[in-house]
Structure 1
Amino acid sequence: MKKFQPRPGFVVQAYRFALDPGAVQEKALRSHCGAARAAYNWAVSWVSASWWQRKAEASYGVPDDQLTEWRTWSLPALRKAFNQAKHTDCRFADWWEENSKEAYSTGLANAAAAFDNYAKSKQDKRKGKRVGMPRRKSKHKARLACRFTTGTIRVEPDRRHVTLPRLGMIRTHESTRKLQRRIANGTARVLSATVRFERGRWFCSFQVEVSKNARTAARPGVVVGVDLGVTCLAVMADSAGEVQYVPNPAHYDAALRHLKRLSRRVSRRQGPDRRTGGKPSRRWAIANAERNHVHHRVANLRQDGLHKLTTAITAEYATVVVEDLNVAGMLRNRRLARKIADAGFAEIRRHITYKTGWAGGETIVANRWYPSSKTCSNCRVVKAKLPLHVRVFACDACGLVIDRDENAARNLAALAAAATTGTGVAGDQDAQASNPRGADRKTRATTRSRKATGGRAGGANLLHQRQEETRDRHQDTEAHTSVTPSRTFPVETPRMLTFD
């Protein structure tokens, strides 16, 4: 499926509203989402059947030209095959007419996208973790979602109802005036609608093509570097010398004690048993709903805080520099995984990226290997090693003593100027930074054993030789950085920002 390209001067934006469906409407919503899951499972089974059939025929010595033909997974092919099978297949023949055709189209489109991701991942054309072959979705674990692209999709003028195909008019929990005003003025056009059950309630998200007025940041000529952390969610240092600390609200940690107590209560109740088909007790359902309510509140507070933070950043600065963090690798640290996941580093970068685009700004992503924490923001000397527990940066060359996160934020702010001018200093992410240890990102191809170095004496001589080489490199580095032009920042008292 090709990504929709908005018209010039328009952007694609989502408007999401909570729904208050009745009992009959909620049953219809669940039916549509179940139909999407059933169509997805049918498509996965239909395509995979030809693969396994060809594999079985090949094991019996059937020639290649006589094997079963491949079944394509393109969306038009899946739709054509499904329309032919839904009348005769016993899984759909009795009830497929109860739901909108968009429900089945949603499942088929998701299946086509899953097979595309699998093929691209197998051919090393897809970034990220390797994607396996699509599997069928479980009735108990699949997320309830359905997308509508055609039919009657509108926001009612009373600003309290939305209309969807086959579902009719559904009341919204909140007013839809923000979207209805734009539609009435002709500055917005609804492209599609997606209903989803998450966090204990139903939501309807409208994909809208919106006309955006040209906006400029409050300080367009100032560059800000954003360094993310656990203790302080974000440390921002701009090119004007101002430093701002945003404390981490740690919503999950604040609710952890309450969640532990509720989880113990749930464990004492009789829950569901999928192995024997046992149903949960009523007291278990009540306790589980109370625990889920706390989880949903934590997620809502986190999302609200991240939106307020990123909106404030993009409204003040036109150029924002962020780091390309390996969040998946950071989550492998069992001591910090919970706090890193609670902070939402990836969401902050995603919000900043599209919000600066709306405001006509620019987001610069620093290289993952750029030593922002190890580089001195005053003289540009790069430290050989800086452990994570060392929270204060002390430069051995110029004697600068500064907070570790503030030093990294200053280096990120200087990176924007270096990226445009190409000065070749440590602030340039493409420049070769000095490395006193001689270490690099790649593992060395050869190593020396004790036998090759002549035992202990040989090893001692080798160690002494490496110490001499390291000392020479360090002296060369100091001589080089002493004549390298650098940017300095006036020292000001940092101010704390809070986003309630």
Structure 2
Amino acid sequence: MIRTYKFRLYPTEEQVKKLEDTIGTCRHLYNDSLGERRVDWDVGFYEQKQLLTLRKQDNKYLKQVHSQVLQDVLLRLDKAYQAFFKKLAKYPKFKRKGKYNSFTYPQYNNGWKIIGDDDNNNKLVLSCIGAIKIKMHREIPVGTLKTCTIVRDVDQWYACITADDDDITTRTVSTSTEYDMSKPLGIDVGLINWLTLSDGNKIQNPLNFEAQAKKIRQLQRNLARKQKGSKNREKARIALAKAWRQVRRCRDDFVHKTSRTIADQGYTLVAFEKLNIANMVKNHHLAQAIMDATWGKLRQYTAYKVEKRGGRVLVVNPGGTSQKCSRCGVEAKEKLDLSVRTFECRSCGLVIDRDLNAAKNIEKLGLEQAHAETEPLLVQRQRISKFQSRKQEAHVLRRG
């Protein structure tokens, strides 16, 4: 399994200047390459990669950046185009100053490496920049180091290092044709009850934005009063960015702890609702609350933690899960309004919390989907075993 480990960097003032210059050079290359592809649609990644040598002859700033870092910029642009063609993202836009905050070294020992001793006096050596102090608060498992992405987060710098830890458990589960569904879990998400689990537990919405909302509004007013281009405006912008960073970190911390709790309970199958967040945030009355809930990030964090332990995470269609009885499966005759928080089944007489009923239905849908995916694999496995047995019989007859 390929994982990413994030570590804090402590560069000197001279190194900060080089890091910012590198980001600026990469941003200009990205914008220039995007302009070329907008004019000529026949120009692609490989054509622009071949033109890099000519660009370096005319641009002294490109010579100060490692060649593979520049190639990764072109690859990043090409991925943006591929996502657009697959209708997964909008058309690529030009990056203004402050909106391009990272660059990548794609190969270990070719542009970057880590040196250090047993006392955690580690250094991250970056080509064309130097050796930067890095705080490795956790040990990277034995595996193959791959890429290193340098990220600027307002006034702090981080190194995101990817490594293939070659996890035996994950590899065994991914290649297996049978799934363990002995301990399933369905999760219904909401704004009041952030999570409702099919085992009856509920997790309240932490409302991370509300804790910083007053401060953010005040900082936004202060920024609006400052003159554009002034040093005071830059200070106000950084203060506002730090406040938003605090909100983002609170969200990530809560999601990490929640996903860790779910994974540690040993669920072998976790089913989430398949939500279209892009359409949901079109409701401007609930957009801020939906974005603050970070349901997509919860599903992402839970997936890799559960799968590491040998489990599986699925997404199911949530249509009708709140309108159908989780015991007998009969749908309500009249559509329940959102204000009705209790589900009453007229067929079997079940009275249950609305969100808990939906979570149980999501769990059943997850089991059905897992069984539907498992059956073709088992049939294929049986055919392979029959073919092998016939092959062995034929081999025995030939020898006889």
Counterpart of 1:162 (choices 117, 124, 131) is 124
With the length of structure 2 as denominator, give the TM-score of the two structures. 0.82
Counterpart of 2:183 (choices 194, 204, 222) is 222
1:153 aligns with 2:112: yes
Deviation at 1:286, TM superposition (A): 3.4
2:156 matched residue in structure 1 = 201
- RMSD between aligned alpha carbons? 2.4
2:38 matched residue in structure 1 = 48
Deviation at 1:254, TM superposition (A): 1.6
Mean Cα displacement is larger for which, 39-48 or 403-412? Answer: 39-48
Aligned pairs (5 A) from 1:39-118: 39-50=29-40, 71-74=42-45, 76-88=46-58, 92=59, 94-118=60-84
* Matches of 2:158 and 2:370, distance apart in 1: 44
**SS of 2:268 mapped into structure 1:** strand
Counterpart of 1:37 (choices 12, 23, 27) is 27
1:288 matched residue in structure 2 = 237
* Matches of 2:351 and 2:65, distance apart in 1: 66
Poorly superposed stretches of 4+, deviation over 6 Å? none
* Matches of 1:38 and 1:420, distance apart in 2: 47
**SS of 2:27 mapped into structure 1:** helix
Which structure 2 residue ranges, 5 or more long, are not aligned? 174-179, 373-400
* Matches of 1:418 and 1:112, distance apart in 2: 38
Counterpart of 1:250 (choices 190, 203, 207) is 207
Aligned pairs (5 A) from 1:369-448: 369=319, 371-383=320-332, 384-419=334-369
**Residues 40 and 111, structure 1, Cα contact 8 Å, conserved in 2:** yes
2:94 matched residue in structure 1 = 136
* Matches of 2:336 and 2:322, distance apart in 1: 8
Structure showing the higher helix proportion among its residues:
2
Which structure 1 residue ranges, 5 or more long, are not aligned? 1-10, 52-70, 273-278, 423-500
1:323 matched residue in structure 2 = 273
**SS of 2:5 mapped into structure 1:** strand
**Residues 188 and 273, structure 2, Cα contact 8 Å, conserved in 1:** yes
Deviation at 1:360, TM superposition (A): 1.7
Counterpart of 2:12 (choices 11, 22, 28) is 22
Tell me the alpha carbon deviations over residues 221-251 of structure 1, each in whole angstroms, 9 at most, x when there is no partner: 21111111111211111xxxx3111111111
**Residues 32 and 100, structure 1, Cα contact 8 Å, conserved in 2:** no
1:313 matched residue in structure 2 = 262
**Residues 212 and 243, structure 2, Cα contact 8 Å, conserved in 1:** yes
Deviation at 1:152, TM superposition (A): 4.1
* Matches of 1:291 and 1:339, distance apart in 2: 20
Cα distance, 1:221–1:153 mapped onto 2, change above 3 Å? same
* Matches of 2:313 and 2:188, distance apart in 1: 14
Tell me the alpha carbon deviations over residues 287-312 of structure 1, each in whole angstroms, 9 at most, x when there is no partner: 43333222111100100111111122
1:267 aligns with 2:234: no
1:344 matched residue in structure 2 = 294
Letter in 1 for 2:94: R
Cα distance, 1:258–1:375 mapped onto 2, change above 3 Å? same
* Matches of 1:177 and 1:323, distance apart in 2: 33
Deviation at 1:333, TM superposition (A): 1.6
**Residues 33 and 103, structure 1, Cα contact 8 Å, conserved in 2:** no
* Matches of 1:198 and 1:421, distance apart in 2: 44
Counterpart of 2:249 (choices 283, 300, 303) is 300
Deviation at 1:337, TM superposition (A): 1.2
Deviation at 1:252, TM superposition (A): 0.4
Cα distance, 1:262–1:359 mapped onto 2, change above 3 Å? same
